[in-house]
């Protein structure tokens, strides 16, 4: 109880009211919260430092706290406040009603029209990270949130790494991520390019969205490592149902190329036939047909194009958000009245009755 009071007091001083827990991990919990200034709903990640390893506290936690504080992209979760005490770390972020994993549990798979939109947003977020020399290293459906406007919000940067060069030339050696999403080079425990392993994980996420299952299986023990590693060496097959278009299958196979040097780049993802078939990426087509001589070997040109693509994504995905935010801020009620009206939302029971399971 003392710890709860300490958490409440620390967050209150930062301007937030702590609500009940609605999710938990190995050494962290996610709670509902309200921002006192405007009574808006937030999520708070509480990391119990007493249950974490020394390596995590020394290496991974500082990276996460440093990275999340500086990221600004419409498809990356907004972090408003970060704090730390001797026993806890606090990350206050925007609230998202559900996750991609929960949507798949509810619907089994996502139709290609919706999957194309979400995948575009996720790839745009990853392009933004890679331009800032940050590798996520833990892409999976659990870390893909979906907000009230049905837009993707990438989260959880606990395994993220700030790379030393724009081309990610210095290999990583840390075994991190969930087995089912790990690239072959990680499972083989060989030094790997974290940018290219992010591309692999992106392919697993897309497969999971449109098929409803994992391409190579999943698990968390040594037997699962061997089984998944063996499956990765075989030709990737697609079920007859749900039906997957040939262009989508081609993109997934390009993302899940066994040899990392053969994997498609983020630049080529946006250039892919699957996106061109969608009809909702006119800005991408315009950017790719500006007449600029784009050499695939030129990282400068690719960076320019990806900047344009991510900027376009920012405009598309943030317009509705800004409109809703302006209307919400125009409500005539006082801050105190709004807090009183929103207080029931701090209950995990009312949270479960809400949209989170939709």
Host domain of residue 30? 10-96+334-344
- To the query of whether residue 138 is one of the catalytic residues in this protein, the response is yes
Within a domain: 85: yes
Within a domain: 358: no
Q: What is the predicted pLDDT for the residue at 301?
A: 38
Which range has the worst mean pLDDT, 64-78, 111-125, 160-174? 160-174
Within a domain: 3: no
Indicate whether 41 and 107 sit together in one domain: no
Within a domain: 4: no
Indicate whether 140 and 283 sit together in one domain: yes
Indicate whether 43 and 184 sit together in one domain: no
| pLDDT tens figures, 284-331 | 434 333 332 232 333 333 444 445 544 444 444 333 333 333 333 333
Out of 138, 147, 198, 287, the active site residue is 138
Indicate whether 131 and 20 sit together in one domain: no
Indicate whether 55 and 27 sit together in one domain: yes
Within a domain: 62: yes
Q: How far is CA 295 from the centre of its chain?
A: 29
| Contact assessment for residue 256 and residue 203, using Cβ atoms and an 8 Å cutoff | yes
Q: How far apart are CA 68 and CA 154, in angstroms?
A: 11
**Residue 353, pLDDT above cutoff 90:** no
Indicate whether 174 and 39 sit together in one domain: no
Indicate whether 75 and 166 sit together in one domain: no
| Contact assessment for residue 137 and residue 184, using Cβ atoms and an 8 Å cutoff | no
Indicate whether 92 and 102 sit together in one domain: no
Indicate whether 131 and 54 sit together in one domain: no
| pLDDT tens figures, 327-341 | 333 334 454 444 444
* CATH at 91: 3.30.200.20
Compute the residue count for the chain.
358
Indicate whether 123 and 222 sit together in one domain: yes
Domains in the chain, number: 2
Within a domain: 327: no
Among candidate residues 49, 135, 40, 47, the one with its CA nearest the CA of residue 80: 40
| pLDDT tens figures, 108-163 | 999 999 999 999 999 999 999 999 989 999 999 999 999 999 999 999 888 888 87
Within a domain: 67: yes
Within a domain: 354: no
For the chain, percent of residues with pLDDT exceeding 70: 74
Indicate whether 57 and 72 sit together in one domain: yes
Indicate whether 49 and 172 sit together in one domain: no
| Contact assessment for residue 346 and residue 33, using Cβ atoms and an 8 Å cutoff | yes
């Amino acid at each position: 109880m003392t710890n709860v009071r300490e958490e409440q007091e620390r967050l209150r001083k930062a301007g937030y009211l702590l609500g009940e827990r609605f999710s938990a991990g190995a050494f962290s919990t996610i709670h509902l919260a309200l921002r006192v200034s405007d009574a808006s709903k937030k999520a708070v990640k509480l990391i119990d430092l007493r249950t974490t390893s020394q390596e995590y506290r020394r290496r991974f936690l500082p990276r996460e706290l440093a990275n999340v504080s500086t990221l600004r992209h419409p498809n990356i979760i907004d972090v408003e406040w970060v704090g730390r005490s001797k026993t806890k770390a606090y990350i206050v972020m925007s609230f998202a009603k559900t996750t991609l994993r929960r949507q798949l549990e509810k619907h089994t798979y996502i139709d290609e029209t919706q999957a194309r939109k979400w995948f575009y947003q996720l790839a745009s977020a990853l392009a933004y990270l890679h331009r800032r020399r940050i590798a996520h290293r833990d892409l999976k459906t659990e870390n893909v949130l979906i907000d009230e406007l049905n837009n993707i919000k990438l989260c959880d940067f606990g395994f993220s790494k700030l790379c030393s060069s724009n081309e990610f030339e210095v290999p990583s050696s840390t075994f991190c991520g969930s087995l089912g999403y790990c690239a072959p080079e990680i499972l083989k425990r060989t030094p790997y390019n974290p940018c290219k392993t992010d591309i692999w994980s992106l392919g697993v996420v897309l497969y999971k969205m449109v098929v409803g299952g994992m391409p190579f299986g999943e698990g968390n023990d040594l037997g699962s490592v061997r089984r998944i590693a063996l499956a990765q060496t075989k030709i990737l097959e697609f079920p007859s149902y749900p039906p997957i278009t040939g262009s989508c299958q081609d993109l997934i196979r390009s993302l899940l190329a066994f040899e990392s040097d053969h994997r498609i780049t983020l630049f080529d993802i946006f250039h892919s036939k699957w996106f061109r078939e969608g009809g909702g990426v006119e800005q991408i087509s315009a950017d790719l047909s500006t007449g600029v001589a784009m050499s695939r070997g030129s990282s400068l040109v690719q960076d320019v194009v990806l900047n344009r693509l991510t900027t376009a994504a920012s405009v598309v995905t943030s317009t509705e958000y800004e409109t809703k935010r302006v209307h919400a801020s125009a409500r005539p009620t006082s801050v105190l009245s709004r807090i009183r009206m929103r207080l029931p939302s701090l209950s995990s029971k009312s949270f479960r009755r809400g949209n989170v399971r939709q």
